[in-house]
Amino acid sequence: MKTLGYYNGRIGELDEMSVPMLDRGAYFGDGVYDASMCAGYIIHNLEEHLDRFYRSAALLNIEVPCAKETLRTLLCELVHRLDEPEQFVYWQVTRGTAPRGHAFPNVPANLWIMLTPEKLVPLTKEYRLISVPDTRFAHCNIKTLNLIPSVMAYQQAVSKSCDETVFHRNGFVTECAHSNIHILHHSVLVTHPADHHILAGIARAHLIRMCEHLSIPVLEKPFTLEELREADEVIITSCSDLCIRARELDGQLIGGKAPVLLKQLQDALWQEFLDSTKTLEIAPDWGQIQLVKRMILQNNINPKRPDLVEK
């Protein structure tokens, strides 16, 4: 398959899939999502992304329709159905299908999965940024489907031939439209605290841990736009941006003053990515595999992996 869509057990190419108009994700954005990159048919940092997914769902009182172990097995099986081993793996849960009404309906949640071929952003890329006031709501820590403010902000960057938009509140930088932002200054990494003003990214956590491993001090505190402009380096992170340098903000050059330290971080994070996608970090749970087989083989789609074929 070139792409893959999954919806409550139905599977097909993305452009052939459809969902009910009464899915609450369609008219309320009532759901949460998560995503990661896949290399060699191995999903990068899957456990951490699953933990955040179930945590986000719990914060919105959404019950994911399968256990974490089942979803893990399902995702690991589905990525093998694509022709390309390098993929963007996206999944979401919505509160269910019911006539439009603000109160929570008593219906089961809907599980979506979408897979598309995609590669990591090359670490040699340098981002151009713009800044805009952060007018989003006060639950940025939940990976909700309500992303219109981020969509509008990112489109402003695109319209100016830039790569990302930096949000700021009262002069302090929070995060970007779809990534986290950090600065290196005087050999110290400074990053916004993991509070309700930002979505604490998995890549952000790995950057912090790598700094600690390399004996680079870390300060989790707000920093200003002026501090960003004066920083030695500005770093963008997300699931597809392991550690990308930013070199321009609102048309002015920034960063570029600590290339050796930045390269050390980039090389270490790249090696970590390679190591984590060489082998499965978790041994297969054959009970979960059997459950997943019952969920998806009813669609009469033959899996590529021989270990999942009925014996």
CA distances from 154 to 119, 165, 222 (A): 20, 6, 22
> Which DSSP state fits 9?
T
Is residue 97 within 8 A of residue 110, CB to CB? The reply is yes
Phi and psi angles of residue 199, each rounded to the nearest 5 degrees, phi first: -90, 115
Q: Which residues pair with 93 in a beta bridge?
A: 32, 111
Cα–Cα distance for residue pair 247/95, rounded to 1 Å = 41
Residue 87 bridge partners (DSSP): 38, 117
Catalytic residue annotation: 143
Give 307's contacts (C-beta < 8 A, 6+ positions apart).
284, 289
Sequence-separated (6 or more) residues with CB below 8 Å from residue 102? 28
Q: Name the residue with tokens 């709501």.
A: 137
| Cα separation, 240 vs 140, whole angstroms | 20
112 token code pair: 């979506």
Give start and end residues of each alpha helix (H) in 28-103. Answer: 46-59, 68-78
Contact 167, 177 (CB under 8 A): yes
Q: Which two tokens stand for residue 204?
A: 């952000």
Nearest to 89 by CA among 79, 98, 99, 80: 79
Instruction: Match 């600590």 to its residue by tokens.
Output: 258
